[in-house]
């Protein structure tokens, strides 16, 4: 029972790490778009956000 619980916690941690990496990448893209005032990059960042929301 304890091993199963530990396994589930490890899976949860891994999932959270992956989601955190996705969030960081989205933030980097959004900040770059704002700093460079790149309208096309803003559109791509927005599309990525919509895709990310749909996948969860």
**Residue spans per domain, the chain:** 2-54
Q: What is the pLDDT of residue 3?
A: 92
Give the predicted TM-score (pTM) of the model.
0.63
Which residue bears the tokens 């790149």?
38
User: Higher confidence at residue 24 or residue 44?
Assistant: 24
Contacts of 34 (CB under 8 A, 6+ apart): 42
21 pLDDT more than 90? yes
User: Higher confidence at residue 45 or residue 2?
Assistant: 2
Structural element, H or E, at residue 46 = helix 39-54
Contacts of 22 (CB under 8 A, 6+ apart): 52
Q: How far apart are the C-alpha atoms of 29 and 31, rounded to whole Å?
A: 6
Q: What is the pLDDT of residue 30?
A: 83
User: Higher confidence at residue 52 or residue 26?
Assistant: 26
pLDDT confidence tier of residue 40, bands split at 50, 70 and 90: confident
Instruction: Give the tokens for residue 19.
Output: 């989601």
């Amino acid at each position: 029972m304890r091993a199963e619980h530990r396994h589930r916690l490890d899976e949860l941690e891994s999932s959270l790490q992956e989601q955190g990496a996705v969030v960081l990448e989205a933030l980097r893209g959004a900040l770059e778009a704002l700093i460079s005032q790149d309208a096309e990059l803003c559109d791509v960042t927005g599309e990525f956000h919509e895709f990310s929301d749909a996948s969860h």
